[in-house]
Amino acid sequence: MSTPAVFIDRDGTLIIEREYLSDPSLVKLERNALSGVSLLAALKIPLVVVTNQSGIGRGYFKRADAEAVNRRVAELYRIKGVEFGGWYVCPHSPNDGCDCRKPKIGMAQVAKGDLDIDLARSVVIGDNRSDVEFAVNMGGRGVLVLTGHGKKHEDWALSAGYAVCADLFEAAKLVACWLSDARCGLRE
């Protein structure tokens, strides 16, 4: 039977936002992200990283550079006992017209096949409007975090009725509540 998953954006959500990050030595965890991911890992469902990396498509860095950054992020979480179930990267620029760049759901569809995920029962956590729209487009629920670029999208998310949380830890508490089918308060 398919399982729900939590899709998590990388830059500005798991790690501190650095425009076009290609150097693993610059990776730093976002505030409260480790606590949030640890709480999500306790749910025993796949944690899936989905990240637009247009710097590859723009020629700013190579795919190998993005993969090195992803390995560093995974290592920092693994040291604390957290493993991600999958990593999905869109390497295209916004003008490429691909099907994988969030808010399109190509990465979610591949993850669905790889990990037997029920997209409609899944949640996306990210710091961008495209992350929330990605959730909506795949039929799941989205949470905007106010780390990274999140504050730029807060008014939009609130006016559209989407969940907004201070950081990944607050978002993880909300997601845990949603997945338990409990009444979760005003930010549902």
CA 25, chain centre distance (Å)? 21
3-class DSSP assignment, residue 88: strand
Q: What is the number of other CB atoms lying within 10 angstroms of the CB of residue 31? A: 14
Catalytic-role residue among 11, 65, 131, 167: 11
Number of H helices, E strands in the chain: 7, 6
**DSSP secondary structure letters along 98-161:** -SSSTTS-HHHHHHHHHHTB-GGG-EEEESSHHHHHHHHHHTSEEEEESSTTHHHHHHHHHHHT
116 has catalytic annotation: no
* 96 labelled catalytic: no
Residue whose structure tokens are 């390497």 = 91
Of residues 166, 159, 168, 89, the one with CA closest to residue 123: 168
Which residues does the annotation mark as catalytic? Answer: 9, 11
